[in-house]
Amino acid sequence: MSSAHHILCIEDEVDIQEIIAYNLKKAGYLVTLASDGVEGLKLAQTQTPDLILLDIMLPNLNGMQVCERLKADAKTQAIPIIMLSARSEEADVIGGLSQGADDYMTKPFSQAELLARIKVALRRRPTTHILTMGSLSLDLDTYNCSLNGQPLKLTTTEFKLLHTLMAQPGRAFSREQLILSALGEESEVVDRNVDVHIRGVRKQLGKAASAIETIRGVGYRCDPNYTETLESELH
């Protein structure tokens, strides 16, 4: 197993957490642990693991809520989630899967079965993650960006901001929302610095810069007619 696969385990029972971590590491995975829903959600958003093991009964924010938020976020919605729960009733299983979980395991479970389920979930995940907008393309694995086949030189911050806007065309983001969504709470970027980074993105886009609209009194959004905008600007 390649050590490139990173698994986030969100589990508040220390003994279960330790057993899972031991077996995952033994199988060659990189492991990050979280003991409550808020911490787990933050780690998922900032570290973007390859797979998440998610207990349902968590303090602060329960597993259903964490799953719902992860699947609503463009940055984390493709991450496979395996829910772990002591509840085995059909309604609980259906509830977990309806929130977007890829699999559901009832405690107690064997570690061998857990490893097998993880392998299946990882195989289902796309090997590449490319976001396109007309002739503009973002490779989320390599952080490469190209326009009309030509590479653009974006900084990491510019790339993340553009990704956030492209992932939800038509949505207006405030500067604060862009910082939290694209860069995370630990970012040192402040509100007005976002304008500088957006200018950098627009400069790289050239004639296609109008695809990123300024919403006066709010912030920025990606033009919901982005495909038509980009194609017309390029020709």
- CATH no., domain 6-124: 3.40.50.2300
Q: Kindly give the confidence (pLDDT) of every residue in the chain, 235 residues in length, as a single tens digit, with 9 standing for 90 and above.
A: 333 589 999 999 999 999 999 999 999 998 999 999 999 999 998 888 889 999 999 999 999 999 989 988 877 888 999 999 887 677 767 877 877 888 999 998 999 999 999 999 988 766 557 777 777 888 887 888 998 889 999 999 999 899 888 887 888 889 888 887 777 766 777 777 899 999 999 999 998 898 899 999 899 998 877 654 555 555 5
Distance CA 71, CA 96 (A): 12
The encoded tokens of residue 42 equal 């933050």
How many Cα atoms are found within 13 Å in the side-chain-facing hemisphere of 64? 11
Q: Any idea where the domains of the chain sit in the sequence? A: 6-124, 130-234
Q: What CATH class has 130-234? A: mainly alpha
